[in-house]
Structure 1
């Protein structure tokens, strides 16, 4: 079967890595796993050894036909369900754990779609550069909108780097296996307001936050100095966006929401 690089069809063929992905997931026989982009079913086969049931979403009709033949018994037994659809458009079914080697071109929208669902754990193969931005800490060059916004929903950590040689055909870049653990530590009152401030701040990431916050507040008819003083955040005026923790953005926008400043 011909694979299309432009469709992100890079098949993970290294068996030891496939097994480790499933090991990282700690799947048990009473859990349902969701897999996006099943391809020829290499990871699917490993998941079926552990999970009560695997639900796969695959867009390519050729792969769907292959999966139906390969796992006909598991489908008949109700242990495997294949959905032919676009992962960004289909409604996710109820599942316990998300375990996938996803198409890299949809990493960001698919990740945030996932994070808005209830699940216990996710093990995801990402492009290495995306994984580094997702897990970046304050003060690093790759820290930005992605790492801050994802922190609202989860804790993300890189488990291992995977060589491009583990795939056929090999992609141009290396990959990384990432664990996403749902977290409710960061409370957000108005998520859209939070995202807007983060996006605005990193559009001017070389400027100091005091100037950025002032411009953002003027756009929203908010008095910035009073907000910063009231919340005890004056120390961040001279810092740049990449030096500011997610908790600070949350405290700012929550404070604005509580006084009605987002109207």
Structure 2
């Protein structure tokens, strides 16, 4: 069943003019929303975060299965439409509203799933935020999201790929992921100019050598020159930050293959470099 007539009716009722420039594209078929919820296999014990809840159609499907849903929405008029549609769920305490910018407002700590179709224009900082705040928690199970296909190529990239960079290195520090389904632009209103995919992401709980703050520092240094050899990038950095740079570079060569190009280095390589430079008090 198409949700388009109801979306259009709500826009008229609440005097809403959708703005595609700020990511206001909404799924128009309930079947896709139900698939997102089905993948998570929710129970009444689950607490779910829906970022960019919009009119609440996905929020509603989540609330049918989960114990509690937090719905985050910044647009006040759209939020009024959501409250109108889902007032019974809200009165029962099944849905709690968070009004504001998802990049700035405090997000609830006790969440074990994120199921969300967020605006594409904020997706990079949003993904980094949820990776930091949720994926390291022991009880967090994962995220189900619809994202822009070109962005997912970069997010899920592996070492050696032309898309491998700071974003994918940050993602793989915390998580693994896979594409579940391609979503055609025809299933959105207004129709976007880009293709989308439904993805599942879950925590990678391997022990890490360094914390993410230090890891980010080293990715910022190294990925400035993705096509250069690691030896050249580290040599340039060490010459500016250590008097004994030659000795340090020589020691590093026994820990990691410095002949690799930056686009070929793995998460584990980055961790080893970060740990070494920390121990030598260079960063």
Alignment of 1:128-139 (within 5 A): 128-139=149-160
Hey, what's the Cα distance between the residues in 2 that align with 1:184 and 1:256? 24
Superposed displacement of residue 260, structure 1? 2.9
> Any idea what SS the aligned residue of 1:9 has?
coil
Q: 1:96 maps to what in 2?
A: 112
Give yes or no for contact 1:189–1:257 (8 Å, CA) kept in 2: no
User: Which residue among 62, 79, 86 is the counterpart of 1:71?
Assistant: 86
Q: 1:120 deviation in Å?
A: 1.9
The one of 148, 163, 183 aligned to 1:142:
163
Please state if 1:228 is matched with 2:249. no
Structure 1 partner of 2:260:
239
1:260 aligns with 2:281: yes
**Equivalent pairs, count:** 259
Go from structure 1 to structure 2 and tell me whether the alpha carbon gap of 1:190 and 1:43 turns closer, same or farther (over 3 Å shift).
closer
2:5: which partner in 1?
none
Could you tell me whether the CA contact under 8 Å between 2:48 and 2:69 is conserved in 1?
yes
Which one of 110, 120, 126 corresponds to residue 126 of structure 2?
110
Structure-1 residue corresponding to 2:3 = none
* Structure 1 residue 230: Cα displacement: 4.2
Q: Does 2:146 correspond to 1:125?
A: yes
Q: State the Cα deviation string for residues 122-167 of structure 1 (Å, max 9, x = none).
A: 1121111111111011111111111111111111222222111111
Which residue number corresponds to residue 4 of structure 2?
A: none
The gaps in structure 2 that reach 5 residues or longer are 1-10, 12-16
Structure 2 length normalisation: TM-score? Answer: 0.86
TM normalised by structure 1 equals 0.93
SS state at 1:28 partner: coil
Distance in 2 between residues matched to 1:17 and 1:135, nearest whole Å = 22
Aligned residues of 1:156 and 1:178 also touching (Cα < 8 A): yes
- Provide the residue aligned with 1:27 in structure 2: 42
Which runs of 5 or more residues in structure 1 are unaligned? none
